[in-house]
Amino acid sequence: MSAGTALAPSTEPISAAVRWRDRVCADPDGAARAADRWLARSGDPELRVLARHIRALVAVERGRSAEARQHARVALAAARRERLPERAAQVLLTCAWVELDRGDPEAAWRHLEAAAQQLTGQDAVRASCLRGVLLFQQDRQDEAVAVLSAALPGLAERGDHQWAANAHVARGLAHLYRNRLDEAEADLTAAEHRFRAAGRDQRAALCRHNRGCVALRAGDLPRALRLFDEARAAGADPAGHPEIRVDRAEALAEVGLHDQAREELHRAASRLQRLGRVARLGDTWLALAGCALRAGDPEAAIRPARCAARLFRSQRRHSWAALAVAVEWQARLRVGQVSRYALAAARRAGHACAEHGWTTAAAEVWLVAGREAARAGRRSTARALLELAATGRGGGPGSTRQLTVGWLAEALLAADAGDHDRLFAACRRGLRAVASYASGIAAWEPRIEAFGLAEELGSVAVGAALRSGDPRLVLRWVERHRLGAAHRRSVRPPTDPELGSALVRLRSAVSGAAEADGSRLRSALSEIGALERRVRDRALLVDGGAIDAAQPAGTAEVLAALRGDVLLVLLAHEGVLHAVSVVDGNARLHELGAELDAVHETQRLRYLLARQAETGDQRAGAVYAASAAEAAAAVQRALLRPVAAVLPPGRRLVVVPTGALHAVPWAALPLCRGRGVTVAPSLRAWLRGGTDAARECGSAEPVWVSGPALEHAEGEVVALHRAGGGRLLTGAAADAERVLAAVDGAPIAHIAAHGRFRDDQPLLSCLELADGPLYGYDLDRLRRGPRTVVLSACEAGRSVPARAGQLTGLAAALLGRGTATVIASVVPVPDERTARVMMSLHSLLRRGVGPAEALAAAQAAHGEAGFLCLGHGG
C-alpha cells in the first residue's frame, strides 16, 4: 500500500497536505502525486498553495533547482494574494534554500530575513537552522557552527528529525572546512543514523559520501574511495546530486587517474548546468584545474581556476576563492610567468589559503613560487618563499602531501646553503612519511601515485649525491628513491569479492566478443569497456597492505650477496644517464650520456628483433638480423661501457635499470650472449628475491599450463610435464580459477599462452586461458606467488615505469606477491622456437643451474634473445 493511499482518505485535506509537505524527502514520488491531484481538482486557495509548495520541495529533493524556483514563486505569489502570511513565510524558507542551491546567497538572505519576521515555533527554529547553513555556505564557519549548535536542541525537542539531521550535515561540513575532522565525522555519522532511522536511505547515503570527503581531507584515500563506493551503492545518485561526481573525481585525481577524473568532472558540470545548480559549478571548475595541474598540464588549469575564483567571489565563498586563486598562480608560475608581480601574488595567495585553513595548498603554491624564483636567479625571494613552504613539514591533519612539500622545501633550502647533511636529513624524513602512508594502501594505482609524492624528494637527494661524486652515497639514495609498490612484502593479498566477480564477467565478455560480428561486436566492445572500468574502480577499493615500509639495501648486505657477480645500477637525472658499477667490492660512478639516446637505441633494437621474429621471409629476416646486431652494439656502448672490461666469459651480471631501460633485451647484446643476466627493479627487491627463492613452497608440485590457439603451447607443456612431473592444465581445464588455485605457492609455474601487453593499463595486460584472459589484477589476488614463474608468452616481461620508478605489469604483479624469479619476454618470440628454448631451460633448472644462467644458456643454444630473468637470478 502506498503512503498516499494510507494518508489521503483518512485525514482532512489541509492536514494531509501539511504532512506530505513535511515528509517529501521520505517519498517524493508519492508527494508529487498527491500535490498534482490537489492542483487538478481543488479550489481551496490554501490547499493549492501547499500543493505548489510540495511540488517545489519535490524538485529540490530531485536536485532540479530551476523547477523548484518556478513552483516556489507561484506558491509565494498565491499565498500573498490570498493573504496567507504563515504559508508565505514557509514558502520563503524554501525559496531561500533554492536560491542558495542556485548560487545566489544574497537572494537567499533576503528570503530568509523576510520569512523570519512571520515564523514562530518549529518554523522559527528551522529558519535558525537555515541561517546556519547560509553562514556555512559563505565560509563563515565559526558563526555557522555556533548557530547550528544553538538550533539543534530546539529541533530535537520538537522531534524534527529531518531538520536536525540537516543541521548535523551542515555543522559537520563546517567542521570539515575548519580541519576539525573528528567533529566532522561525528556530525555526519549522527546525520546518517537519523536519516536511516527515518527511512531516508538516499539522504543517509549522501552523508556517507560526505564522510568520504572527510577521509579524503584526512589523507586516507583508500577509506575515502570505499565510502564513496558504499554511498553510491546505497543510493547516492549522481544524476540528482552531480556533486558526487566532483568529490569522487578529486579522489581519482589523487590516485593518478586524471583522464577518468576529467570525464567525471565534465559530466558533473553538464548536469549541474542542466539542473540550474550553479552553486557547485565553482567546485567543479576548481577540481578540473587541480586535475590538470596533477596531470602536468598547467596551461589547461589557468582558465577553470580563474572561472572558479570569479564564481566563488560572487557567492561570497571567500575561502574557496582563495584556494582557486592559489591554484591559478601555481599554474601561471609553471608555464613560465615568473615576474616580480607573479611571485608577490603567489605569496599573497598562499597567505590567503593559510588563513582559511588550506594549509597544503598554501605550502604548494609557496614551493612552486620558490623553485621558479630560484630558477630565475632571485635567490633571496626564493629563500623567503621556500621558508614559508617548509613550515608545512610540521604537518596538517593527516596530510602526507603537506609533509612532503614541507620537507622538499627544507631540502631545497639546504641545497641553496650547500648543507648536504641537512638536505639528506630532510629528504630522509619526507621519504619516510610517504613510505609510512603508502604501506597501508593495497591497491596498485593509489600506491604508485602515493610514491609519486616522493619523486622530487628522491631527485633532489640523488642530484646532491651525484655532485658529491661518492658512488656508495649515490647507490644508497637511488635505492631510497626506488623503494615502493613492488618492493614491500604484503600481509595478505588484496581482497574484494566484487573485484573477483567483475574479473569473471570481463573474461566472459572478452570470450564472447571473439565470436561476435557487426552490431553484436560493437555492443560486446562497449560492454568490455564498461567492465574494464568496473574492474579498475573495484581494484581501487581492495583491502590489504604491507607489513612495514621497505628499508633500502645496505652496501655491506649487497656486497655480501653479490659474491663474484658484477652489479650495474642505472639512473637518470635531469636527462643524463649515470651508472654505479660494483666489481669485486669496488664501487665506481660513471656518466653514460643522454638518457634519450639510450632509450632510442633500445626501442630500435626491440623493434628490429620483433620484425625479425615476425617475418616469414628468410631474406628480410637476414636484413633485420643484421640491423638488430648493429642496434645491439649501440645499446651495449651506451650502457655497458663502464663494466665491459671486467666481464670475462662466465661472469654473471646483475642490472637495476631505470625507466624505459627495463625493457632492454640484454641477451641480444654481444657481451651478454650466453651470460647470466638478472634484471631487478631495485637492490632491495633483488635481495628479497634471494630470501623468497630459499623459502618452503606451499605445494611441492610444479604446474604446467597451456592456453588456447597457440600451435606449440600444448605440446610444450605436455613435454615439460613428462620430464618434470607435477600438475598439467591444458584445454578446457586451463581456466583462470583452476590456474590461479594451482600456481598459488607452487615451486615453479610455467604458462605457455598468448600474451597481450597494455601500455595504457598495465594491470589489464593478460595471458589467454581457456575461459578468457588472466589479468594482472588476477595475479595480484594470489596469496603467495609461485617461487619461479616462466611466462612463455610474447612481451609478458614488459612493465610500464610509473612515478618514482614504480613498475606495473604482469611480472611486477608477481614479484609483488612474493615470486622470486620471473622469466618472460620483452619482445615477440616465434612460438616454435620458444618451445625448444623452454625445454633446454627446464632441463638446466632440474640439474640445479640458477635461473639466470639456465636462461642464458638456453637462449644462446637456440639463437634467441627476447627473454629476461627478472627479480632474482638464483
Q: 127-151, pLDDT tens digit by residue?
A: 899 899 899 888 888 999 999 999 9
Phi, psi of 777 (to 5 degrees): -60, -35
- The three grid cell numbers given for residue 240, joined into one nine-digit string: 540528482
Q: On the CB side of 701, how many CA atoms lie within 13 Å of its CA?
A: 13
Burial class (CB in 10 A: 0-12, 13-18, 19+), 631: buried
The total of other beta-carbon atoms located within 10 Å of residue 437's CB is 24
Indicate the helix (H) or strand (E) that contains 569.
strand 566-573
Domain ranges in the chain are: 3-233, 497-539, 686-871
What beta strand segments (E) does 793-830 contain? 800-801, 807-808, 821-825
How many residues belong to the chain? 874
C-alpha cell at 656: 637495476
Closest of 835, 838, 829, 826 to residue 864, by C-alpha: 829
d(Cα 414, Cα 209) in Å, to the nearest integer? 42
How far, in Å, CA of 700 to CA of 707, rounded?
A: 23
Residue 318, exposed/middle/buried by CB under 10 A (0-12, 13-18, 19+)? middle
- Residue 169's nearest CA partner among 214, 118, 115, 210 is 210
Question: Cα separation of 671 and 639, whole Å?
Answer: 11
Closest CA to 90 of 10, 146, 17: 17
User: Strand 821-825 vs strand 867-871: parallel, antiparallel, or unpaired?
Assistant: antiparallel
Please give the DSSP secondary-structure letter assigned to residue 280.
G
CB 712 within 8 A of CB 729: no
The span from the first CA to the last CA of the chain, in angstroms, equals 72
Q: Could you tell me the CA-to-CA distances from 126 to 101, 155, 167, 208 in Å, in that order?
A: 17, 8, 9, 23
What 3-state DSSP class applies to 129? helix
Enumerate residues 6+ apart whose C-beta is below 8 A from 330: 293, 298, 301, 346, 364, 365, 368
- Give the C-alpha separation, 793 to 768, whole Å: 9
Nine cell digits for residue 598: 639510450
Q: How far apart are CA 600 and CA 574, in angstroms?
A: 17
- Contact at 8 Å (CB) between 778 and 740? yes
d(CA 773, CA 810): 12
- Amino acid identity of 397? P
Nearest to 726 by CA among 712, 706, 751, 746: 746
Strand partners, 704: 728, 750
β strands within 717-798, DSSP E = 727-729, 748-752, 755-756, 766-769, 772-775, 788-792
Element (DSSP H or E) covering residue 599 = helix 595-614
**Separation CA 575–CA 520 (nearest Å):** 48
Give yes or no for a contact between 67 and 274, defined as CB atoms under 8 angstroms apart. Answer: no
| Cα distances (Å, whole numbers) of residue 180 to 152, 332, 357, 699 | 19, 32, 10, 51
Measure Cα distances from 806 to 5, 447, 448, 486, 786 in Å: 62, 9, 6, 7, 22
Hey, how many other C-beta atoms are within 10 angstroms of the C-beta on 120?
10
Q: What is the dihedral of CA 687, 688, 691, 692, to 10 degrees?
A: -140
Q: Of 773, 817, 868, whose CA–CA distance to 444 is shortest?
A: 817
Nearest residue to 761 via CA among 222, 254, 257:
257
Identity of the amino acid at 565: D
Kindly give, in sequence order, each residue whose CB lies less than 8 Å from that of residue 100, ignoring residues fewer than 6 positions away: 108, 133, 134, 137, 279
User: Would you say 872 and 820 are in contact if contact means Cβ atoms under 8 Å apart?
Assistant: yes
> Long-range pairs for 589-598 at CB < 8 Å and ≥24 separation?
589/466, 589/469, 589/470, 589/471, 589/474, 590/641, 590/642, 592/638, 592/639, 592/641, 592/642, 593/638, 595/659, 597/638, 598/635, 598/638, 598/639, 598/661
Question: Nearest CA to 797 among 771, 834, 847?
Answer: 834
- Between CA 610 and CA 841 the distance in angstroms is 22
As a whole number of angstroms, the distance between CA 620 and CA 572 comes to 36
What gap in Å lies between CA 84 and CA 766, rounded to an integer? 70
Are the beta carbons of 168 and 161 closer than 8 angstroms?
A: no
Topology classification of domain 3-233:
1.25.40
Let me know: does 170 contact 152? Beta carbons within 8 Å.
no
Contact 825, 869 (CB under 8 A): no
- Grid cell, residue 581, equals 658499477
Q: At what angle do helices 65-81 and 85-102 cross, to 10 degrees?
A: 160
Pairs from 39-42 (Cβ < 8 Å, separation ≥ 24): 42/13
Strand partners, 570: 579
Sign, Cα dihedral of 394, 399, 405, 407: positive
Is the Cβ–Cβ distance between 738 and 783 less than 8 Å?
A: no
686-871, which class in CATH? Answer: alpha beta
Pairwise CA distance, residues 152 & 168, whole Å: 8
Entry pTM: 0.82
- 10-residue averages of pLDDT along the chain (874 residues): 37 83 84 89 88 91 86 92 91 89 85 86 88 87 93 87 90 89 95 89 92 88 88 88 89 84 90 80 92 90 95 88 96 95 96 90 94 94 95 64 90 94 94 77 67 83 95 91 55 67 92 82 89 87 57 76 92 94 92 95 94 84 92 96 84 93 95 95 88 75 94 92 95 96 95 91 93 93 92 88 77 90 90 87 95 96 93 88
The two beta strands, 748-752 and 703-706, are: parallel
The one-letter code for the residue type at 655 is V
Do the two domains 3-233 and 686-871 of this chain adopt the same fold? no
DSSP helix/strand/coil, 582: strand
Burial 184-219 (b: 16+ CB within 10 A, else e): bbebbbbbbebbbebebebbbbbbbbbbbbbbbbbb
Q: For the chain, how many helices (H) and strands (E)?
A: 38, 16
CA distance 30 to 19: 12
- Contact (CB, 8 A) for 789 and 752: no
